[in-house]
Structure formats: C-alpha cells, structure tokens
Amino acid sequence: MRLSLIFVPAVHALSIQHRIFHPCGPSFEYAQRAELAFDTFEPTVYATSLDLSSHVQRLRDADLDLDKAYYQVALQRDGDVSPTEWDVSSVKLCHLYHATSDTITLYAKDGHVHALNYFVSPVPHNGACLERNNSKKRVEKDTNLQLEKLNTSITLQSYSTPPLPELRTPPALTTEGEPVKPIPEKSFIQKYWIYIVPMVIALLMSGGPEESQGRARS
C-alpha cells in the first residue's frame, strides 16, 4: 500500500468515542474510549466507561437481530460541537466477539487528523456473522464483550503525492548557452588502423607464394 504511515506531531487533542448502533434500535449515547496525545505517543484508554454488554442486552430485549448491529467508533476533534460532526466508522458487532485485535487508522493532512477508520481482526473472508447454534452460549458471549482484551494499534495515514514524470536529462550547455557538441566518434579505421595495417601488410607479404603454387598446380 502506498499510503505512508508517518507519525506527525499533533497540535490538537483527539478523543475516540464509541457506542453500539442498531438501525432499528434505541439510540445509545457515545462514551469516550480513548484520549489521544501524540506528543507522548501514548493513548490514554478509557475502554471500560461503556457498558457494552448492557446495551447488547437492551437490543436483545427489544427482540432485534443482533447481526445487524454495529460497533461504532467516532473521532471527536477540537472544535466539534455536537456528535453529528464527529467522524464515524463502524464494524459489525458480531465480528467483535471473535476479535483479538483492532486497529484505529487516523487520516491526517498537514498534522491535522480529519477522519478515522476502524477495523477488528480476524473477520471471516465474506464478512458474514458466524452462526452460533447454542443459544445459551450465545447469550453468554453476547453479553461478554471485553474491549480491554483487544490488542489495539493506532496508525496514522497521510497524503501521498503522485510520482512525477521522469524526464530525460536535458543536453549540457556551454557558457554561451549553446548545447555542448559531443566529440565525434572515431570511425572504425581510425580506431583500429594500428591492427589493420600490419594485417594487410602480412596478407600482402604472404599472398605471393600461394599464387605461384596455384599456377604450378595448374
């Protein structure tokens, strides 16, 4: 991937919020998951401030399909007044149960983070929610979401600039501004006359007797 991962010193505070979201369910408030301070490269994590399990239970009580629920992570920047201005990324809630690690990717330009993306891993290839046959086990698992156990990594992505055309080197110029004329290459004879002349002489010298031999044969 071409996007470079560069940490840039941030001059603004960032807060990572999170919640559970279901398109048909009640609207849950966001809770802070982490505070990011890039000068120390150490995020302060508040993962426990959200009781995910109870929210999942509420969705279950409302008899909603949990496979359609999302776990949303939002980015609160400096100056954002309402949560509607926050930047949001979602993963399917069902993927969170099997996840061992998660990644928050922050998109930045000139040291200013403007958007985020959130992934959990591992996720089935086709993204489907794994079937959970045992309903008892399912209930236990649904209410047992532990974000603290996830191995969280945060990456920062900034812009790339496209490559530039690789132009040919311009011809060298003299002090008068005229192109430097290349030294004309010597011809084959000019280069190798020193070898050619002795060979020619040698051939001439050795040519006589053969002819006489031929004549003699005829």
Contact residues: other proteins, CB under 8 A? 1-3, 23-24, 68, 70, 79, 81, 84-92, 95, 103, 105, 107, 109-110, 112, 114-115, 117, 119-121, 123-128, 157, 159-168
Q: Is the peptide bond before 122 cis (omega within 30 degrees of 0)?
A: yes
Buried-exposed string 121-154: b where 16+ CB fall within 10 A, e elsewhere: eebeeeeebeeeeeeeeeeeebeebebeebebeb
Query: For residues 144 and 153, which CB has a smaller minimum distance to other proteins in the complex?
Result: 153
- The token duo for 94 is 């069902």
Residue closer to other proteins by CB (options 97, 139) is: 97
- Cβ closer to other proteins: 50 or 70? 70
| Residue 146 CB, nearest approach to other proteins (Å) | 20
Query: Amino acid identity of 8?
Result: V
Q: Which of 73, 77, 83 is nearest to 50 (CA)?
A: 73
Which strand ranges, in their side-by-side order, compose the sheet holding 101-109? 112-121, 101-109, 151-158
Closest distance to other proteins from the beta carbon of 114 (Å): 5
Report the nearest approach of other proteins to the CB of residue 57 (Å): 20
115 contacts: CB under 8 Å, gap ≥ 6: 75, 87, 106, 107
Residue with smaller CB distance to other proteins, 56 or 120? 120
Nearer to other proteins, 128 or 199 (CB): 128
Q: What is the largest CA-CA distance in the chain?
A: 123
**Six-digit token pair at 168?**
């040919």
SS3 70: strand
Minimum distance from residue 218 beta carbon to other proteins (Å): 39
**Closest to other proteins by CB, 81 or 203:** 81
CB of 200 to other proteins, least distance (A): 36
Shortest Cβ 9–other proteins spacing (Å): 16
